[in-house]
Amino acid sequence: MANPSLLILAGDGIGPEVMTEVKKVIAWMGDKRGITFDVSEDLVGGCAYDKHGVPLHDDTMAKAQEVDAVLLGAVGGPKYDNLDFSVKPERGLLRLRKEMDLFSNLRPAQCFDALADFSSLKKDVVAGLDIMIVRELTSGVYFGEPRGIFTEGNERVGINTQRYTESEIARVARSAFELAKRRNNKVCSMEKANVMESGILWREVVQKVHDEEYPEVELSHMYADNGAMQLVRNPKQFDVIVTDNLFGDLLSDAAAMLTGSLGMLPSASLGAPMANGRPKALYEPVHGSAPDIAGQGKANPIACVLSFAMALRYSFDLGEEATRLEKAVEQVLADGVRTADLMGPEGGVPVSTSAMGDAIVAALNASL
């Protein structure tokens, strides 16, 4: 049986640094657990533009379509700010999402006990938080037509169109229900059915998918503005939240900050199942390329490491190993090991990017 395949696109800024630490974990999996991946590497973002004149070469796109999963670091930087919009580094990432049809964006918000004091909310509100936001990623107001800036009479008007089809809503709803079955069997769907026709359709379709296919999963509906308030008031009431592209963008960033550090959070973008039954998938940390600290050994690699843990769970059916890796990260944090972004008033052991990766591998060794 062939080894699972993984395409690494480290990208720009701190991307290569944090990805180096993931490679240590991949090597550990082979050495200690006998789990070997066929790993290839390529360019995306600014580094791809520097070499090819485009942020994603066609050959790289073809590779991404063939592998079991893509693991991406980060793209962009001030060096590329003045490029034409069509070749900016971010267009490489957007092309991957579009052409792989990655319609389901998974954004976990997990608060490790050791970092509960980093949240702007009270510790008892966020300690132990573990929720998943499922954001529809390829439709909605960011893609709907008509769109643009037009002149009407003597002034300009900006137009964006919120548009969803039943099938687009149904497939992301199924993604959320399937996730809930692996977790606490509870989904909350968020929209604005009180003022938006697209919200009415969203609620109807999610309810239909539930009733016909997932009646065993607990389903509730909530207006997205109330959902934002409830995330701040009592986030632990939620397990899986499913919502559209715009509200998902807003709610997932709000949930991210409940945990206290954007540098800690992974994400997954999943598409339709391939011939082997696994979904097309792209995994990436939520954080950006952080060009201000690139090359200085200050970057926190945990979000990228946890993105690989998501790949283990959702692309490679290695849930036990994913949990092992997540617990290793939790142990390292409990031991007070901290990159610069995690140094709080209570102190800790300050370490470099590389030393954090070594500490995670050491915790993996201790788990055996």
**Residue 49 is part of which domain span?**
1-112+261-368
Q: What is the pLDDT along the chain (368 residues), one digit of tens a residue?
A: 789 999 999 999 999 999 999 999 999 999 999 999 999 999 999 999 999 999 999 999 999 999 999 999 999 999 999 999 899 999 999 899 989 999 999 999 998 888 888 888 888 888 889 999 999 999 999 999 999 999 999 999 999 999 999 999 999 999 999 999 999 999 999 999 999 999 999 999 999 999 999 999 999 999 999 999 999 999 999 999 999 999 999 999 888 888 876 678 999 999 988 888 889 999 999 899 999 999 999 999 999 999 999 999 999 999 999 999 999 999 999 999 999 888 776 667 889 999 999 999 999 999 99
Kindly report the three-state secondary structure assignment for every residue of the chain. CCCCEEEEEEECCCHHHHHHHHHHHHHHHHHHHCCCCEEEEECCCHHHHHHHCCCCCHHHHHHHHHCCEEEEEECCCHHHCCCCHHHCHHHHHHHHHHHCCCCEEEEEEECCHHHHHHCCCCHHHHCCCEEEEEEECCCHHHCEEEEEEEEECCEEEEEEECCCCHHHHHHHHHHHHHHHHHCCCEEEEEECCCCCHHHHHHHHHHHHHHHHHCCCCEEEEEEHHHHHHHHHHCHHHCCEEEECHHHHHHHHHHHHHHCCCHHHCEEEEEEEECCCCCEEEEEEECCCCCCCCCCCCCCCCHHHHHHHHHHHHHCCCCHHHHHHHHHHHHHHHHCCEECHHHCECCECEECCHHHHHHHHHHHHHHCC
Q: Is 197 a member of any domain?
A: yes
- The answer to whether the predicted template modeling score (pTM) of the entire model surpasses 0.75 is yes
β-bridge mates for residue 177, sequence order = none
Verify that 78 and 63 share a domain, yes or no. Answer: yes
Helical axes 15-33 vs 302-314, angle rounded to 10°: 50
Q: Which CATH number goes with the domain that contains 254?
A: 3.40.718.10
Residue 201 assigned to a binding site:
no
Active site annotation includes 335: no
Same domain, 4 and 104: yes
- 140: annotated binding-site residue? no
Catalytic residue among 101, 142, 181, 223: 142
Q: Do 245 and 313 sit in the same domain of this protein?
A: no
134 among annotated binding-site residues: no
Clarify whether 225 is annotated catalytic: yes
Say whether both 212 and 310 belong to one domain: no
Catalytic residue among 249, 280, 314, 341: 249
Instruction: Tell me if residue 142 is catalytic.
Output: yes
Residue 118 maps to a domain: no
- Tell me: is residue 246 an annotated ligand-binding position: no
Instruction: Tell me which of 50, 253, 335, 358 is the catalytic residue.
Output: 253
- Determine the Cα–Cα distance for residues 57 and 51; give it in Å rounded to an integer: 9
Q: Is 184 exposed, middle or buried (0-12, 13-18, 19+ CB in 10 A)?
A: middle
> Quick check: is 246 in a domain?
yes
Q: Final residue of a domain: which of 241, 258, 275? A: 258
Of the residues 223, 258, 293, the one at which a domain ends: 258
The answer on 214 and 191 residing in a single domain is yes
- The reply to whether 314 belongs to the active site is no
In the chain, how many domains are there? 2
Q: Annotated binding residue at 83?
A: yes
Q: How far apart, in Å, are the Cα atoms of 360 and each of 3, 203, 231?
A: 24, 42, 30
One domain for residues 229 and 332: no
The answer to whether 253 is a known ligand-binding residue is yes
Which of 43, 35, 37 is closest to 64 using CA atoms? 43
Is 81 known as a binding-site position? yes
Quick one: pLDDT at residue 289? 95
Q: Examine the domain organization and report whether 244 and 320 are in the same domain.
A: no
Given 225, 236, 327, 358, which residue is catalytic?
Answer: 225
Domain contains 12: yes
Any domain includes 60: yes
Is 85 annotated as contributing to ligand binding? yes
**299 annotated among ligand-binding-site residues:** yes
249 is catalytic: yes
Q: Which of 12, 164, 192, 280 is catalytic?
A: 192
